[in-house]
Amino acid sequence: MKSDDAPCLRYGQDTPGHRALRKGRFSETGRAYFITFTVNQRRPLLTGALAQYFIEHLLQWQRESGFALLAFVVMPDHVHLLGILTEQSRLSDVVRRLKGRTGRALNRLLGQSGPFWQSAFYDHALRVQESVEAVARYIEENPVRRGLVVDPSEYPFSSANAVYAEQMLGWQWWMRDDDLW
């Protein structure tokens, strides 16, 4: 086999996997979405101060983006979010703004350049029969499944941590507290 004929592993926006992630993607105001994105090359960078820094940006972003958080977890190599698209915006634009802003900031803290996040993200629009609470529990139990903690509330970089309970705008939006909006 010539080197030109060797199989090629490709990553990025021009790959079938990336196109499959976008297939059927839609944005609907008032719908809950489960979103996952990963650190570039799945490097375990989101620990300690970097994870905390990301969460601070995440909580501010929810106020500016029209994506009210219901649950989140920041794992060392990926992030899970559950939230409600509360404004007339494309989900891909909302996530792109978060990844762009935090990627630049985290790279600055690390003294590095280049992509911090992998270019794609996974999203799942929750259907009527799906339980928002069950998806939130699934997200918050991720550190338990990975063996990092015994109880989700022990993990410092998750909405299961009581510190973030009042900062989660999604539950307030879900209950239609019009004073917030």
Domain assignment of residue 179, yes or no: no
Calculate mean pLDDT across residues 94-117: 96
Q: Which residue, 153, 124, 125, 132, is CA-closest to 141?
A: 153
Q: Using an 8 Å Cβ cutoff, are 52 and 157 in contact?
A: yes
Q: State the residue range of the domain holding 57.
A: 24-174
Cα-based distances in Å from 35 to 4, 6, 179: 37, 34, 27
Asked if pLDDT for residue 18 goes beyond 50, the answer is no
Name, in order, each residue with C-beta under 8 angstroms of 95's C-beta and a sequence gap of 6 or more.
35, 37, 121, 123
Q: What is the pLDDT of residue 173?
A: 63
Is residue 11 domain-resident?
no
The CATH number of the domain where 136 resides is what? Answer: 3.30.70.1290
Question: Is this model's pTM higher than 0.75 or not?
Answer: yes
Does the residue 12 lie in any domain?
A: no
Of 11, 28, 12, 19, give the one whose Cα is nearest residue 124.
Answer: 28
Stretch 87-93: mean pLDDT: 85
> What's the pLDDT score for residue 181?
38
Q: How confident is the model at residue 176 (pLDDT cuts 50, 70, 90)?
A: low
Band the pLDDT of 21: cuts 50, 70, 90. Answer: very low
Tally of domains within the chain: 1
Longest dimension (CA), the chain: 67
Is residue 117, in this structure, part of any structural domain at all? Answer: yes
pLDDT of residue 174: 58
Q: Is the pLDDT of residue 14 over 70?
A: no
The single-letter code of the amino acid at 162 is A
Residue 125, SS3? strand
Residue 152 lies in a domain: yes
Has residue 122 got a pLDDT over 80? yes
Residue 4's pLDDT is 38
Q: Is residue 15 predicted with pLDDT exceeding 90?
A: no
Residue 154 lies in a domain: yes
Q: What's the pLDDT at 36?
A: 97
Q: Does 153 reside within a domain?
A: yes
Per-residue model confidence as pLDDT tens digits over 127-160: 877 789 999 999 999 999 999 999 999 999 999 9
- The whole-number pLDDT of residue 168 equals 86
Sheet strands (E) in 89-160: 122-125
Is residue 18 assigned to a domain? no
